[in-house]
Copies of this chain bind each other. A is one copy, B any other.
């Protein structure tokens, strides 16, 4: 008799989270060892309510279309499971006779995943638990990078380049672009690629390095004075010297984190008020994780691969691990997959290396050596006739 598997999504989606889901379903089908393929409707909420979607009979064509479907096709949530919830989780797993459980998420989800695995062991359940990494923030430890990051980085890089060309082609204002990243600047760092692809001045500020706003404004004034147009890119979680975000939305999320945001508008207002320059703030926000036309082909393939690998590992008897991506970059990019202990991943946070930030507002080559291939490689060459 075959196994029954359950997959759930936790936290914010990425442009490629559904590629991992496609990988899970197609690997399960290819294995011939799986009877039922279930997905939790809206993540932990679905598990707690016993509300599962039966994907077993969904047409292959629909599963294939997951590749080009943004957000979570099965639904996700930000509910953090508490000690009181775990008995209910076990009830659902038993009710549906689940043998393998896959949780696709970031730090918080890997913590939940770890706790479910520990609980199952304590209760003597024959449950295999594998974490599938996902976060555009790229802040999971023990994996070279996270599925979702490459696409968010490509979005940041190309959007920034497009805005930089707009700012340098019609240089009437300083354009400030806000990108997602509460604590980790990986995605915003990618926006610095605009300086390499265009003729515009670009300054980039990450949450890892608190800023002196006066210094920031004088740097902005100096860069704008070069007359080439200016794009300033900032992480939503950028902090002042007091360690507090320059701006926040006043929202507290389901995991208890205050949601930063409005940072670009805050800086844009200061540029207008204190420097007397025109400025506009742009904040594509969730589009940075939802955009399919900007998705990275490399990211998409790796997201698929980690989903498929999770299923193969569980069917081979593994449990209590997260799938990690290991990379060799020279002489050419090559990635492979392995398993790392969930206990080592849970709640750790990989920050952007401070030494990759140059002069406070430029991003060094080391970052692009790391990230360029993950962004998909095929970058545009623009025709600039103004010079």
List residues of A whose CB falls within 8 A of some B CB. 12-13, 18, 39, 41-42, 53, 55, 58, 62-63, 65-66, 68-78, 158-159, 162-163, 165-166, 168-173, 175, 249-251, 253-254, 259, 261-262, 265, 272, 278, 280-287, 289-294, 380-386
- The residue among A78, A175, A249, A286 with the most chain B CB atoms within 10 A of its own CB is A286
The answer to whether B73 and A385 touch across the interface, beta carbons within 8 angstroms, is yes
Of all A-B residue pairs in the complex, the 10 with the closest CB atoms, nearest first, are A293-B293, A282-B285, A71-B165, A71-B169, A65-B383, A162-B290, A72-B169, A284-B284, A71-B166, A69-B382
The answer to whether A385 and B53 touch across the interface, beta carbons within 8 angstroms, is yes
Can you name 12 extra interface pairs (CB under 8 A) apart from A69-B380, A163-B290, A282-B285?
A42-B170, A71-B162, A71-B165, A71-B166, A71-B170, A73-B385, A78-B170, A159-B287, A166-B290, A249-B280, A282-B283, A282-B284
Chain B residues whose CB sits within 8 angstroms of the CB of A381 once the complex forms:
65
* Main DSSP-derived SS at the A contact region: loop
| Given A58-B385, A384-B73, A386-B53, CB of A162 within 8 Å of CB of B292 | yes
A78 CA / B286 CA spacing, docked (Å): 31
The answer to whether B382 and A68 touch across the interface, beta carbons within 8 angstroms, is yes
| Given A71-B168, A293-B294, A382-B65, CB of A250 within 8 Å of CB of B272 | yes
A-B contact pairs, 13 of them (CB 8 A): A62-B383, A65-B381, A69-B165, A69-B383, A75-B386, A163-B286, A163-B287, A166-B290, A173-B251, A282-B286, A283-B285, A291-B293, A292-B380
A347 CA / B152 CA spacing, docked (Å): 41
A41 CA / B387 CA spacing, docked (Å): 9
A268 CA / B173 CA spacing, docked (Å): 26
The answer to whether A165 and B284 touch across the interface, beta carbons within 8 angstroms, is no
In-complex Cβ contact of A383 among B63, B169, B249, B265 (8 A): B63
Chain B residues whose CB sits within 8 angstroms of the CB of A385 once the complex forms:
39, 53, 55, 58, 62, 73-74
| Given A249-B280, A265-B265, A283-B283, CB of A166 within 8 Å of CB of B386 | no
The answer to whether A284 and B286 touch across the interface, beta carbons within 8 angstroms, is no
Chain B residues whose CB sits within 8 angstroms of the CB of A272 once the complex forms:
250-251
Chain B residues whose CB sits within 8 angstroms of the CB of A159 once the complex forms:
287, 291
In-complex Cβ contact of A73 among B62, B265, B287, B383 (8 A): B383
Chain B residues whose CB sits within 8 angstroms of the CB of A384 once the complex forms:
69, 73
The answer to whether B75 and A293 touch across the interface, beta carbons within 8 angstroms, is no
The answer to whether B165 and A290 touch across the interface, beta carbons within 8 angstroms, is yes
Chain B residues whose CB sits within 8 angstroms of the CB of A68 once the complex forms:
380, 382
A191 CA / B63 CA spacing, docked (Å): 26
| Given A73-B386, A293-B293, CB of A78 within 8 Å of CB of B172 | yes
Chain B residues whose CB sits within 8 angstroms of the CB of A249 once the complex forms:
280
| Given A162-B292, A165-B69, CB of A77 within 8 Å of CB of B280 | no
